A and B are shown apart, each in its own frame.
Chain A
Amino acid sequence: MRYAMAIDTKKCVGCSDCVVACQTENNVPIGYCRDWVVEVTDGTYPQLEIEIRSERCNHCDNSPCVRCCPTGASHYEEGGVVLVTPHKCIGCGACIASCPYDARYSHPDGYVDKCTFCIHRIRKGEQPACVAVCPTKCMYFGDLDDPNSAVSKVLKKRKFKTLIPEAGTQPHVYYLI
C-alpha cells in the first residue's frame, strides 16, 4: 500500500478551500496551516499563464525529516504516510530545516505539526478533508498499489510532475499539468 495524491493544476482555481477545510478538520490553530496555495504567473500581458497548486507535505519515500529526527517522532505510518508523534517531539526544528517543501511548522503547543493525509479519515474509508471539500474536484487520493484507485487512474492518463524532484525525496504528491 502506498498512499498518494494527485492535484490537477488545470482545474484548481486556488480558492484555498483545502486550507480552511484542513484547519477546521484538524484543529490547526489560526495563523498556521498544513496546506497552502501557490500561484505562479509566467509571461507578459497579454501572453500569460498561471499555474495554481495546492501544496502540502509530500509524504516522501525518502523523507529528510524522518531521517534527521533525533527522537523518532517523525516516522512512517501505513501507506508511507509521514507523521509526527507529538509527545515524542522535542520541538528541535531539525525536520523543519530539512524539509525542501517547507511543509512543517512549530505548533504553539510545542511540537512540530504537518499534513497527515488525514490518516484518521483514511482509516475510516474517507477521503482527506482537502480532497473531500474541493469544489473543483481537482484532487485525487488513493493507493498507488491499487490500479483502480482514483490516483492511479488519473496518473495513468495525465502528464504530471512532482516538486523539487532533484532533492531526491521521492515525493508522493503529484501535480497534473
Chain B
Amino acid sequence: MRFTASEGSLRTPTYCEVCFWQCAGWVYKNDSGEIQKITGNDDDPHCNGRFCPRGTGGVGMYHDEDRLKTPLIRTSERGKDTFREATWDEAFDYIAEKLKKIAAEHGPECVALFTHGSGGAHFGHLLKAFGSATISAPSFAQCRGPREVAFITTFGDIIYSPERTDIRDTRCLVLIGSHLGENMHNGQVQEMSDAIDKGATIITVDPRYSTAASKSKYWLPIKPATDIALLLAWINVLIENEWYDKEYVEKYTTGFEQLKAHVQPFTPEWAYGITTIDPNVIRETAREMRNASPAVIVHPGRHVTWYGDDTQRLRAVAILNALLGSWGRRGGFYNPEKMKLPDYPVPPFPKPNRMPQDAYQGKYRLANEVVSNGLCDATIPSVERECNIRAWFVNGTNLMAALPDQQKTIDAINALDLLVVVDTMPVEITGYADVVLPECTYLERYDMIRQSPHREPNIALRMPAARPKYNSKPAWWMAKQLAGKLGLEAWFPWNDLEEVLDWQLKQIGSSLDEMKRMGVKKFPRSYDDLYFAPGEEVTFNTNSGKIELYASDLEAEGFAPMPVYTPHEEPPEGFYRLNYGRAPVHTFSRTANNPNLTDLMDENTLWVNPKVAKLWGLKTGQYVKLKNQDGKVSTFAIKVRVTERIRWDSVYMVHGFGHNNPRLSRAHGRGVNDTELVTRVHVDPVMGGTGMRGNFVTFITDEPTDGKEAGS
C-alpha cells in the first residue's frame, strides 16, 4: 500500500469519524510528525470551521494505546475473548474459506453487514460483489428510522443527515425530547445558538431539564411516554382556533377534514390529565408556533425509537409542521441538495436471490432502510424461515451496546458460522468475533468522498494524516484483499483508493490534488429550490402527490392513518423509568476509552430526583447497581447524581458506558451500560424500530456500593 499523505506538510484534510455528522477539518502535526490537533474547515457547512469537543478530541482515537493492533483469530468459544494474533493473509484465508462454504451451501445472501462507519462503504461493495444486499445500519431501526418513515408517509421525503431543519433562520424551535447541545450535532447546535442570538423562541418538551430546556422560553416538563397526547392537543388548538396556515393546507395537503374530526376530542384539558402540562401552556406554546409560522420547526429529533409507537408520534410532528406550513419554507425545513459523484466503473453486481427484507417476512414494509434487529432475528434459526443468516461482518458499531435485548444478540451470534468484526477499538462485540480485523483510524486512511445533502451541494475529502499505527489497515484495503481471495477482483479493478477518488473527482471537474488543498468544495445548486416559491405548484412523492395529513400508506398497511395516543406502561412501585441520552463529549460507546475525552468524562452518572434520593437514602457520589423489571442487574455500579433536573418517576444516564472488556483500560467498569438493562423492547410495527424507553429500574443499595474506583 502506498502512503502518499504529504508528510511534513502543515495540514491535511479529513472529515471526522467520531460521529455521523462528519465535519470536515484539518489535521495538524507537531514538529516530531505526531498528530497534535484537528480543527474545523471554514468552508465546511457541517461545521463552519468549528469542530465539536469529540471532533477536537478525535486525536485521542489515534493515540489510544488500547487500539486493536493486529488481526486476531478466535481460539476458544465465543464471548470468551480468547484470540491468537494472526497475519492479514491468515485472517483473510480464514474468512474467505468460510464465506465460500456459506455461499455454496446457503447462498451469498446469508452473509450480512452491520455498519455504522465509513468502512461500511467498502465492505458493502464487497458484499454486493459477493451477491448479498443484506446490509444494515443500526442508525435506522435503533435511531432515526421512525422519523424518516413518518415524514415519507406525510411529505414523501426524509429528513436526511445533516437534518434539513432551517434552524439558522427559524423564529420558533420546538424540541421534543431532543437535547441539542448535549447531543453535539454540530451544525444544528451552531444554528440553535444563532437562533438564540436572533431572539427565536425555543420550546422544549422533556421530562428532564436538559441543557436545551435551560435555553428555552418554555420548558414543558412532560410526563414520560405521553408525547403523542401533547402533540394531538397542539394539533387540536391550531385547528380549533384556525391558527394553521390555511392557504398552505388548502394548496398542498390532503385529509384535513378527517384530521379535524379526528383531533376534535383531544383538547388541552384532555391532554393535561395525561401529560401533566398546563392547558394554558399548551395553548400559549401553540400560539407561539403560529406567530412564528412558517418560520417554525417542530423538530423531528434524531434518536426517536422510544416506545414502539414512534412512527405515529413522528407523524404527529410531521402533521404539526404541515399545519404550520413550515415544510419547504425559510426557517422551517429546506430542500437539501447533494453533489453526487459517479461510481467508479465496475461490472454490474450479481442480483441476489433474496433481499434483506425477506429475512423479516412481510413485516415492516414501510421501512425505507434495512431493519438491523430484523436481520438479528433472522439469524436465529427458525422453522418458519427458509434460510437464516450465517455470517456477519460488523464494522464501526458495537452491537452489544447498539442493539437492545443483549441476550437475543448473543443467541444470534451463537448461531453464526462466521462473525468478522472490523473496528479500531476492542469494543465488546470484538470479544464475540471469530476474526477481528484492526482498522486504522480515520486519521490514517482514505475513505470515499463525503457527499452530503445541504443548503449548498458540497464534497469533502478524508486523507491520511499519518501512517497507520501498529498493524492496522484501512477498510478499503481489507475489502480489496478479501475480494482477491474470493475471486471478486473484477469489482476492485484499481490499485488503491486514491485512484478511485481521483477518477470520481475528475468526472465533476475536480481532482484529488485539488481536494487535498481545499478539503471541502462547494458547488452551485442545480435549481433555485431551497424553499418553495410563493404560490408554487409542488408535487409531493406520496400516493396522492399531496402532503398526507391522512396517511394512505399507513392505512394500506393496516395501521392508523392518523396518530392516536395509547397509554404506555408505567413504572411499578419502587421502579423508575430508565431514560438515557447523550453527553457532548462522547459518541455512543465509541469514545468511552478515548484518552482526551475520558479526561472530561470517564463514567456516566445516574440522575436521581432529590425526593427519590431521600426515599432511598441516596447521596450524590454514592455508587449503586441497578436492577430492571425483568430482574436483570447491571454488571457495574453507577455514581448517583442527585439533581432537581429530573422527574421523580424516572432516572437518567448517558448512553455508552459500563464497558466490560478489560482491554479497554480507561473505560472498563466505568459506569453502567444502559443497553444491558433494556431487556424489554417495544418494536414499532410500522418500521421495525426498537423502542427502548419502556424499561424500569430500581436501586440495589444493600450490596457493596463500589464503583471500580472505590472498590479496587
Please determine whether A20 and B600 come into contact, CB atoms closer than 8 angstroms: yes
B28 to chain A minimum Cβ distance, whole angstroms, is 9
Partner of A45, one of B196, B584, B596, B609: B609
Bound form: Cα–Cα A45–B208 in Å: 9
> Which A residues touch B38, using CB under 8 A?
24
Q: Which of A88-96, A105-113, A132-140 contacts B (4 or more CB under 8 A)?
A: A132-140
30 pairs of residues in contact across A and B, judged by CB atoms under 8 Å: A11-B197, A13-B181, A13-B182, A13-B193, A15-B181, A15-B189, A15-B585, A19-B53, A20-B57, A21-B37, A21-B53, A24-B37, A24-B38, A27-B36, A31-B599, A45-B221, A45-B609, A45-B648, A46-B209, A46-B219, A48-B214, A133-B40, A133-B56, A135-B50, A135-B51, A135-B52, A136-B190, A136-B192, A137-B193, A138-B193
* Residue B645 CB within 8 A of the other chain: yes
Please determine whether A14 and B584 come into contact, CB atoms closer than 8 angstroms: yes
List of 5 A-B pairs having minimum Cβ-Cβ separation, nearest first: A13-B181, A15-B584, A136-B193, A24-B37, A17-B53
* Residue A50 CB within 8 A of the other chain: yes
Contact with B along A45-62 (1 / 0, CB 8 A): 110111010000000000
Please determine whether A133 and B39 come into contact, CB atoms closer than 8 angstroms: yes
Please determine whether B645 and A17 come into contact, CB atoms closer than 8 angstroms: no
> Which A residues touch B30, using CB under 8 A?
27
Bound form: Cα–Cα A49–B53 in Å: 24
Contact with B along A122-141 (1 / 0, CB 8 A): 00000000001111111000
**Do A135 and B39 contact each other (CB < 8 Å), given the known contacts A17-B56, A23-B596?**
no
A51 to chain B minimum Cβ distance, whole angstroms, is 9
Tell me which residues from 40 to 64 in chain B have a Cβ below 8 Å from any Cβ of chain A: 40, 47, 49-53, 56-57, 59
Bound form: Cα–Cα A48–B209 in Å: 8
* Residue A78 CB within 8 A of the other chain: no
> Which B residues touch A43, using CB under 8 A?
644
Identify which of A14, A136, A137 gathers the most chain B CB atoms within 10 Å of its CB.
A136
* Residue A10 CB within 8 A of the other chain: yes
Bound form: Cα–Cα A13–B51 in Å: 14
* Residue A16 CB within 8 A of the other chain: yes
**Do A133 and B196 contact each other (CB < 8 Å), given the known contacts A14-B584, A15-B181, A16-B600?**
no
Bound form: Cα–Cα A25–B595 in Å: 16
| Contact residues on B (Cβ < 8 Å of other chain), bracket | 35 or more
B351 to chain A minimum Cβ distance, whole angstroms, is 45
Please determine whether B211 and A50 come into contact, CB atoms closer than 8 angstroms: yes
A106 to chain B minimum Cβ distance, whole angstroms, is 17
* Residue A30 CB within 8 A of the other chain: yes
> Which A residues touch B587, using CB under 8 A?
none
Contact with A along B592-633 (1 / 0, CB 8 A): 000111011000000001100000000000000000000000
**Do A30 and B599 contact each other (CB < 8 Å), given the known contacts A41-B643, A136-B193?**
yes
**Do A45 and B645 contact each other (CB < 8 Å), given the known contacts A13-B181, A17-B51, A137-B193?**
yes
Instruction: Tell me the B residues contacting A by CB distance below 8 Å.
Output: 30, 36-40, 47, 49-53, 56-57, 59, 181-182, 184, 186, 189-190, 192-194, 196-197, 209, 211-212, 214-215, 219, 221, 584-585, 595-597, 599-600, 609-610, 643-648
Bound form: Cα–Cα A19–B597 in Å: 10
Tell me which residues from 74 to 116 in chain A have a Cβ below 8 Å from any Cβ of chain B: none
> Which B residues touch A30, using CB under 8 A?
595-596, 599
Please determine whether A48 and B645 come into contact, CB atoms closer than 8 angstroms: yes
Please determine whether B209 and A132 come into contact, CB atoms closer than 8 angstroms: no
> Which B residues touch A138, using CB under 8 A?
193
A116 to chain B minimum Cβ distance, whole angstroms, is 16
> Which B residues touch A46, using CB under 8 A?
209, 219, 221
Please determine whether B584 and A13 come into contact, CB atoms closer than 8 angstroms: yes
Please determine whether A15 and B53 come into contact, CB atoms closer than 8 angstroms: yes
A41 to chain B minimum Cβ distance, whole angstroms, is 6
Residue of A nearest to B38 (CB): A24
A21 to chain B minimum Cβ distance, whole angstroms, is 5
> Which A residues touch B215, using CB under 8 A?
10-11, 13
Partner of A135, one of B57, B189, B643, B647: B189
> Which A residues touch B595, using CB under 8 A?
30
Bound form: Cα–Cα A16–B184 in Å: 11
Partner of B37, one of A17, A25, A49, A52: A25
Residue of A nearest to B36 (CB): A24
Bound form: Cα–Cα A13–B646 in Å: 18
